[in-house]
Amino acid sequence: MQTYAIPLENQFDYRPLSGDSIYFIGIGGIGMSAVARILIHEGCVVTGSDVSASSLISTLEKMGARINIKQDGSFMTPKTDMVVISAAISEDNPELKTARQMGIKVVKYSQILGSLMKEKRGIAISGTHGKTTTSAMISTIVKTAGLDPTFVIGGEVPDIGGNAHLGKGNLFVAEACEYDRSFLNLNPQIGVITNIEEDHLDYYEDIEKIITAFGDFASLISEDGLLVVNNNDANIALAVRRARSGVETYSLNKESDWRGEIFSAGAGINRFRVFKRNELFGEFSLKVPGSHNVFNALAAIAVCTHIGVEKEVIQTALASFSGASRRFQIISTENDITVIDDYAHHPTEVRVTLKAARELYPRKKIWCVFQPHQYSRTRYLLRGFSQSFEDADKVIFTDIYAARDSEYEVAATGSGMLCKETCRAGTDAQYIPHLPAVVDTLSSEVAPGDVVITMGAGDVWKVACDLASRLR
């Protein structure tokens, strides 16, 4: 497979200093807001912009950030030392053009993240799915152990104070995104690969290029470090050949360095035994449902054991772990109608989340409201999506939430097409384009005892919140 050298501009020389004026374009993004929070704590003057208000933006404003919702460049001044952009910001963005014209240094979010990680012992969690939850588990365990880590997570984790924290300890836990090969800007001593599947095909084109990128990530782990990988994933087996570090594997159903054995999954609580190289390591419990979360827990156990956290601390932290926001988050149980919100936006994520719901609610009617994320992802993975809803009794598709989509992609596919394919696959599905109309339909048709799950990486969470409000 082809390999790529990390470009020279990615070599960790982007460390903002206390007092620097830093401007974030798209500051409301989950990763961007996390880094902004850390820089505010370090004494930087943070300003930025986004297209709409949010709770993340409100939090930053309370911390002292000045944020413009117009994205017209008016908050950007010649005194700005650096402009930070995410991988989603294109060169035709008006504010990015303004920064270029003013001669302000422009860096990517992942480059700042890499600079921050370099100063500590980095733990980078990668993978197509599960990296937010795994990052949250590791951060929770390490914080419970009193090690006060710095962390940057791609989701809100209420139990540990949100999506970011500047700790006094020497550990830096970061979710590592593969889009745009962003994770290659990091400098980890410990890495995790949860799984490798087709995704971000608007950037990578095919699975071979995705595997190559993960192989590059594996090669970043220092020789005296550790790479923890899912032993059930054939694509990981190819990528891990590039590793220079030690490697530990985890699995539920095959010989691995860390093997889990679920012995009870009642009432949404997973109880499982963990074997370390075939010797019983201990028994654990997890109150977030689904066997996929036991996989995530195995990765967290391996990492935290490696850095010296006592087994009893790991057991306590995982038993109390309540998950990240928008990861099977129960929004309401009013009128005996359970409303759940989840971030699933890939066929595998949809499938395992609905499977977890069916295991938790075996005799209840499950409604799934799915908002596809990106026209390109929907087109590339149409067949996989259409076959991923079998554990739902009724599916409602909304219009696609566009992100980085070209005019060609918008014209090439749509939710109506996905709805037809899902019906052909044997699932009862309906297309309702707009979110308010979805809430109207649910309000009139959902009955006591039913379960409603909203899914997607866009703003479909509004359906869950609005429905919960009506039920109250």
Nearest alpha-carbon partner for 374 in 336, 413, 340, 342: 413
Q: CA–CA separation, 243 vs 320, rounded Å?
A: 34
Q: For this structure, is 175 an active site residue?
A: yes
Using DSSP, state whether 36 is helix, strand or coil.
helix
Find the catalytic residue in 131, 133, 140, 150.
Answer: 131
Which secondary structure element, helix H or strand E, spans residue 377, and what is its range?
Answer: helix 375-380
Distance between CA atoms of residues 143 and 10, nearest Å: 30
Whether the Cβ atoms of residue 225 and residue 189 lie closer than 8 Å to each other: yes
Q: What is the strand order of the sheet 66-68 is part of? A: 66-68, 45-49, 21-25, 82-85, 105-108
Residue carrying structure tokens 């990052």: 135
Count of C-beta atoms within a 10 Å radius of residue 141:
27
- Measure the CA–CA gap between 312 and 137, rounded to whole angstroms: 15
Sheet holding 171-175, edge to edge: 164-165, 150-152, 171-175, 121-126, 190-193, 226-230, 246-251, 258-264, 270-276, 279-286
* Pair 43, 49: CB distance under 8 Å: no
As a whole number of angstroms, the distance between CA 261 and CA 295 comes to 10
For tokens 């990763």, the residue is: 31
> Would you list the DSSP string of 292-308?
HHHHHHHHHHHHHHHTT
Q: Using the structure block, give the residue that is written with the tokens 């149980």.
A: 333
Helix (H, G, I), strand (E, B) or coil at 397: strand
| Helix H or strand E segment including 41 | helix 30-41
Is 409 tagged catalytic? no
Active site residue 276: no
**Exactly one of 156, 175, 198, 349 is catalytic; which is it?**
175
Task: For residue 276, give both structure tokens.
Answer: 């370390």
Question: Which of the following is catalytic: 47, 80, 128, 132?
Answer: 132
Q: Could you tell me where the DSSP H helices lie in 7-127?
A: 30-41, 55-62, 94-102, 109-118
- What are φ and ψ of residue 280, in 5° steps? -60, 120
Q: How far apart are CA 346 and CA 373, in angstroms?
A: 9
Instruction: List, by residue number, the catalytic residues.
Output: 131-132, 175
